[in-house]
Amino acid sequence: MDHNASVSIRNLYKIFGANPVAALKRVRAGMSKADLMNEHRHVLGLSDINVEMKAGEITVIMGLSGSGKSTLIRHVNRLIEPTAGEILVNGENILDFGEARLRDLRRRQMSMVFQHFALLPHKTVLDNTGMARAVRGEDRAAYEQDARKWLDRVGLGGQESQYPHQLSGGMQQRVGISRALTSNAPIMLMDEAFSALDPLIRTDMQDLLLELQKELHKTIVFISHDLDEALKLADHLVILKDGIVVQQGEPQEILLNPNDPYIVDFISDINRARVLRVRSVMDTSPAEAPSTAGKVDADDTLESVIALSGGDTALSYEVHRDGAHVGFLNMKKLVRALVPMQAAENGM
Amino acid sequence: MATYDFIFNGLGLRDWCDQDATTGPMSMADLLAGSGGGQAEKTMLQSLWELPFPSLDALNQACPAISRSRDLTRGLEESFLNVKDPLKVVLDPITQPLSWVLETALQIFTTTPWWVMLPLLLVLVWVASRSWALMGFVATALGFLLFVDHYTFAMQTMSIIFVCAFLCVVFGVPIGIAMSRSDTMQRISIPILDMLQTLPTFVYLIPLIFLFSVTEPKLYGIAIILYAIVPVIRLTDLGIRLVDKDVIEAAEAFGMTRHQKLVRVQIPLALPNIMAGVNQTIMMSLAMVVIASLVSAPGLGVLVLRGIRNLELGVGLMAGLGIVLLAVILDRVTKAALARVNAAASVPRH
């Protein structure tokens, strides 16, 4: 099976209403979402979306409710048909697919995890886990071993014969994840997968997902309305507002150089020390090598470096990645990076 | 002079009106009034007070060429009688198996000795409900019917209900599924179901009596099925439409075909509603089987009918009690089965 599936979305528009094609012409001519709603009773769901979801990466699409993020993820497996645009999976436009090919794509290339779990209430945990494989026509013997393996992996070993309603929310979502993993599909779509869970369980699940991703390298599309979650998981972060991509890129980059007041607003509340990494604020080639107080890893958080320095801003550290020297970290610069407004002023 | 003469005179249709007149007394009252001699002159105010609606009868008085309402009902009857024969050629062979099935079931239920039938029914109750208490109740109730010599009648009623309710499920569930899949189908079906449900039960019987001979079991079979099939159709449609949208979306996201979705998701999740429909269907079959005794359906209904016809109060009451017992048995057993289905697919979500 191809484990290097990529998804790219190009010039995607989605308009809800009686005559989306006519509305599309107006949008392309520059009509705004509000005008379209007031004058023509059409809802502009997504407008000119261009996103590259690279193979083996976690792409997080973040936005508040109504921003179109759930609509967007449903385009990737065509649960929703776009008004215009292209959706390429491994270079093929899936909008050209007929019913049979689309079904095959959903069965073999993609799996999905849902906000409200969407397990079959009349099937056991084991049957739910093997659902994707059973749908393909495999019999239980073919998938049972895999299903048990993944249930063990997500911490549900021994619960195989339970029914979903006997499990807590967090456990049900573990079933949801093991169902997606058992399908062996290279692309995983996660629609607010952790939003319905308690904060502590949510953190657990995020760690579980990162741990699994380290060895599986699936192409994951993750929807979230929670910035902390998005920053924690994302390799590539897409921020959506009113159906438009406001900014996308590496999360650290967005954090340090927000290009829109909306994002500045958004990121003003988060704990930057915990999210920012050494690699984002280090100097790769300073004029002169400073005297260093020690070594830190490029992927360490600023919080851990502050703890290491004991709060002394006069120090500098040598930055390493995989044992190789990559740059220097100045504590003064580190502290400046913690102030969001400064970054905002620079960026705008 | 009739009230609406001026219309036809004004339109110059007088000749046409008088050309092919349908005359004759309108009703018995008219006939009597006619023999009573000419009517007294009325004042202007009185005639306005009694202004008739321009109905068929009133227009006929002014213009005899227009038909009267009694011609309408007669026309309805005649047109039905005209299509009756061709309709019968088609319907008779199609519905013939129903007669065979009903006859066979009656045969089996009434000729099997009570000491075989009783344990069989009790086993059925156990399979459906897994409840000793209910089994005890059914044993007592059937024992009572045996004791007062109403057992054969009760079994006749039971056999008709078994056949009709089974056929209702066989036809009703697929119709309900079709309705849940297509809004057009639902729009077409709902008025028909409404009509079947609200039409007075006796009105069903009238066209059926014309179509089939009263001695054929299929006559009452069709009447019972038409009346009792409604709830199972409605609740199948409703049950499938109520299936959690999230689960349906998951089924689609994992690439289920329409058929897989139906068999693996929709029907299992709609099962509690479908079972509730089956329970209603069985109860309605029982209600109809009593009325169907008017058209030669055997069973407890015959005794009730005898009670009414001959004013034999005791016979009527006793048969009524038997029907109540059957109703309670059927209701409790199907409800117990429903409760088991609900427990298996217990659905607290989110």
Q: What is the CATH number of the domain that holds A341?
A: 3.90.1280.20
Is the per-residue pLDDT at B152 higher than 70? yes
CATH for A139: 3.40.50.300
How far from the centroid of its chain's Cα atoms is residue A84's Cα? 24
Domain count within chain A: 2
pLDDT given at position A186: 92
Contact A47, A27 (CB under 8 A): yes
Regarding whether A208 and A75 lie in a shared domain, the answer is yes
- Among A332-346, B99-113, B288-302, name the one with the lowest average pLDDT: A332-346
Q: Which of B254, B347, B349 sits opposite A135 (nearest CB)?
A: B254
Decide if A266 is inside a domain.
no
Q: Identify residue A31 by its one-letter amino acid code.
A: M
- Domain boundary (A192, A222, A257) is at A257
Residue the block writes with tokens 């909008």:
A95
Provide CATH 1.10.3720.10 ranges for chain B: 76-344
**A325: domain range?**
272-347
Question: Chain B: residue nearest A170 by CA?
Answer: B350
Contact A304, A297 (CB under 8 A): no
B59 vs A173, residue with greater confidence:
A173
Contact B106, B119 (CB under 8 A): no
Best residue in A122, A172, A188 for a mutation probing chain B (most B CBs within 10 Å):
A122
Kindly indicate the confidence band of residue B61, based on its pLDDT and cuts at 50, 70 and 90: confident
Decide if A321 is inside a domain.
yes
A18 vs B214, residue with greater confidence:
A18
Question: Chain A: residue nearest B347 by CA?
Answer: A121
B34 vs A75, residue with greater confidence:
A75
Q: How many pairs of residues across A and B have Cβ atoms under 8 Å apart?
A: 66
Q: What is the rounded distance in angstroms from the CA atom of residue A79 to the CA atom of residue B250?
A: 10
pLDDT mean over B8-36:
68
Q: Please tell me whether residue B197 adopts helix, strand or coil conformation.
A: helix
Decide if A2 is inside a domain.
no
The secondary element (H helix, E strand) that includes residue A141 is helix A140-153
Regarding whether A176 and A213 lie in a shared domain, the answer is yes
Best residue in B243, B244, B247, B254 for a mutation probing chain A (most A CBs within 10 Å):
B254
Greatest distance between any 2 Cα atoms in chain B: 87
pLDDT given at position A343: 46
Contact B28, B85 (CB under 8 A): no
Q: What is the rounded distance in angstroms from the CA atom of residue A7 to the CA atom of residue A185?
A: 13
Regarding whether A293 and A212 lie in a shared domain, the answer is no
Query: Helices (H) and strands (E) in chain A — how many of each?
Result: 17, 13
Q: Which of B255, B268, B345 sits opposite A106 (nearest CB)?
A: B255
pLDDT given at position A238: 93
Task: Please give the full DSSP string across A262-307, using - where no structure is assigned.
Answer: HHHHHHTTS-HHHH-BHHHH-BSS-SSPPP-S-EEETT-BHHHHHH
Question: Chain B: residue nearest A127 by CA?
Answer: B264
- How close does chain A come to B187, measured CA to CA in Å? 21
How many CA atoms lie less than 13 Å away from A180 in the CB half-sphere?
30
Q: Identify residue A293 by its one-letter amino acid code.
A: A
Decide if A293 is inside a domain.
yes
Main-chain phi, psi angles of B347, to 5 degrees:
-125, 50
- With an 8 Å Cβ cutoff, are A107 and B254 in contact? yes
Task: Please give the full DSSP string across A154-196, using - where no structure is assigned.
Answer: TT-TT-TTS-GGGS-HHHHHHHHHHHHHHTT-SEEEEESTTTT
Weakly modelled stretches of chain A, pLDDT under 50: 1-3, 343-344, 347-348
Fold of B76-344: MetI-like fold (1.10.3720)
Q: Give the per-residue SS3 of A67-102.
A: CCHHHHHHHHCCCCCCCEEEEEECCEEHHHCCHHHH
Question: Chain B: residue nearest A73 by CA?
Answer: B253
Distances (CA, A) of A327 to A287, A290, A312, A322, B193: 12, 11, 20, 13, 79
Decide if A31 is inside a domain.
no
For residue B138, give both structure tokens: 């059914």
The count of other CB atoms within 10 Å of the CB of residue B333 is 24
Q: Please tell me whether residue A113 adopts helix, strand or coil conformation.
A: strand
- How close does chain B come to A333, measured CA to CA in Å? 47
pLDDT given at position B34: 57
pLDDT given at position A169: 87
Contact B22, B67 (CB under 8 A): yes
Distances (CA, A) of A238 to A59, A68, A91, A253, B132: 7, 12, 21, 12, 62
